Amino acid sequence: MARKQGSHSDITGPRILDTALRLIAQHGFAAVSMRQIASEVGVQAGALYNYTPDKQSLLFDMMREHMADLLAALRDVDLRGDALYQLEAFTRFHIRFHLPRPDQVFVSYMELRNLSPANFDVIERMRRDYEDALEAILRQGEAEGTFSVADTRVATRAIIAMLTGLSHWYREDGRLDIAAIEAIYWDLVRKSVAA
Amino acid sequence: MARKQGSHSDITGPRILDTALRLIAQHGFAAVSMRQIASEVGVQAGALYNYTPDKQSLLFDMMREHMADLLAALRDVDLRGDALYQLEAFTRFHIRFHLPRPDQVFVSYMELRNLSPANFDVIERMRRDYEDALEAILRQGEAEGTFSVADTRVATRAIIAMLTGLSHWYREDGRLDIAAIEAIYWDLVRKSVAA
DNA sequence: TTTCCAATTGAACATTTGTTCAGTTAAGTG
DNA sequence: CACTTAACTGAACAAATGTTCAATTGGAAA
């Protein structure tokens, strides 16, 4: 019953990544089987191997795609102006980018230990690039006299942890909408590093 | 070759939980097998079932123990005095309690989805109790006029996420010792909610 | 010394795992 | 129409999974 109607490779490919992402976010990488993914895609397990060399690459590909999207989107953010303005832009960008992608956030922050060492290094490097962008803002603010942080590296990680934690409890049908949440978090971030 | 010397139940029991904790923190719950745990304890897989009814209980027990320890230790913290003093006590307590327990932190925050629904509810309730303790401090500070947070619930989660994120990158042989880290984080926390 | 039983072994169980691949189907090509 | 080949099936593989349990061991109690 192969190829029932039309060419499927351009549909099945993304569908596999989407399905795998959803399942892995829900149950964890090791707890999801290739047959489970295949079943939800509507295909046999063997067919997955037309699109990925192995299960590990499936995980790696979705994490790399997420980080690449993140870094690309960050490059489009207007980061001119003084440090305070940049920090606000970064904060709002982080929230707006991550909130609509709870599964990607979950997988990217929870399944790092299931990456092979080589793949881990790649993702870790991209994460580092993202952190560096925020740290640069903090350093600039420190130079301007706008900010006062004892350690820009620690402050960077603290802020990112705070912002990312949001994705763990935010629900679309919750008490607060994105605008309200942005305001609350920006208030916390701004004050935490204020001079 | 059973019971080679002396009674082992009081040794093997804790050793199983310790070993399972370490392995699960390293590889994830689903990725660790009962045989793997047994092997590191120095026992056959079947022997584990003298100490736990199943693998799920192993996970649940270590998470419940961690949360119980956390709540018990929190009760011993002196939380009298004004809100600022209490917030400092809470912040330093959180860091001091969690930093020496990286594996427990990792498992307790990463393996929630591998708990059965009933077990999840128990752990979630304990986590909620811990959050409530911090929120009470924020509310008091708000009433005193010491703090100014737009939303105490969100601020509570933001602060806990920030503090817990510390456990993900802190290394004992790192650049900063615990006292320095406490000072940096207390500075960030204090300012973030300041009036 | 004999008895007892806590502690553990080791084999067995039914499933499930990731992965491979020869064969089948049907859409696209000439 | 015939032909090619992308896309997929379905069976097979060895290895590993959680869990059970009769049999065995040896320290402790009598």
Cα angle value B86/B109/A153 (rounded, 5°): 65
d(CA B167, CA B105): 7
Dihedral class, residue B28 (left if φ above 0, else alpha if ψ from -120 to 50, else beta): left
Q: Identify the H or E element spanning B59.
A: helix B55-75
**Helix B152-169 × helix A178-193 angle, to 10°:** 60
A77 — phi, psi (to 5°)?
-75, 140
What does the angle CA B177 – CA B182 – CA B184 come to, to the nearest 5 degrees? 100
Residue of A nearest to B113 (CA): A27
Task: Report whether A144 contacts A82 (CB < 8 A).
Answer: yes
Q: How crowded is residue A62: how many other Cβ atoms within 10 Å of its Cβ?
A: 22
Place of tokens 């406490």: B182
Tell whether A68 is within 8 A of chain B (Cβ).
Answer: no
pLDDT for A46-98, tens place per residue? 999 999 999 999 999 999 999 999 999 999 998 889 999 999 999 999 999 99
Amino acid B9: pLDDT: 66
Residues A74 and A51: their CA atoms lie apart, in Å, by 29
Range 4-23, chain B: CB under 7 Å to any strand D atom: 4-7
Which of the 20-59 residues on chain A come under 7 Å of nucleic strand D at their beta carbon?
38, 42-47, 50
Whole-number pLDDT of residue B1: 47
Q: Select from A162, A124, A150, A142 the least CA-distant residue to A86.
A: A142
Whether the Cβ atoms of residue A96 and residue A38 lie closer than 8 Å to each other: no
User: Which residue type does B135 have?
Assistant: E
pTM: 0.93
- Return the number of other C-beta atoms located less than 10 Å from residue A2's C-beta: 5
Structure tokens at A163: 């912002």
Q: Which residues contact A2 (CB under 8 A, 6 or more apart)?
A: none
Sort out which chain A residues have CB atoms less than 8 A from B168's CB and list them.
Answer: 161
Test B183 with A150 for CB contact under 8 angstroms: yes
| pLDDT (mean) for A139-166 | 97
Residue B50 CA to residue B37 CA, distance in Å, equals 14
Closest CA to A192 of B129, B130, B161, B136: B161
Q: Is the dihedral angle over the CA atoms B47, B52, B55, B61 positive or is it negative?
A: negative
Strand C: which residues have Cβ below 7 Å from it? A 1-7, 32-36, 45-46, 48-49, 53-56; B 1-3, 7-12, 38, 42-47, 50
Minimum distance, in Å, between the CA of residue A9 and any CA atom of chain B: 31
Q: Which nucleotide is nearest to B1 (CA to C1')?
A: D25
Residue B26: list chain A partners with CB under 8 A.
Answer: 113
Q: Do B28 and A151 touch (CB under 8 A)?
A: no
b/e per residue A89-120 (b: at least 16 CB within 10 A): bbbbbbbebbbebebbbbbbbbbbebbeeebe
DSSP 3-state of A147: strand
Local confidence pLDDT in tens for the 195 residues of chain B: 455 555 566 788 889 999 999 999 999 999 999 999 999 999 999 999 999 999 999 999 999 999 999 999 999 998 889 999 999 999 999 999 999 999 999 999 999 999 999 999 999 999 999 999 999 999 999 999 999 999 999 999 999 999 999 999 999 999 999 999 999 999 999 999 999
Own/partner long-range contacts of A174-179 (Cβ < 8 Å, ≥24 apart) = A176/B151, A176/B154, A178/A95, A178/A96, A178/A99
**Nucleotide D26 C1' to residue A89 CA (A):** 71
* pLDDT tens string A4-54: 555 676 788 899 999 999 999 999 999 999 999 999 999 999 999 999 999
pLDDT at B12: 86
* DSSP state letter for B111: S
Q: Which residues in chain A are contacts of B185 at CB distance < 8 A?
A: 154, 158
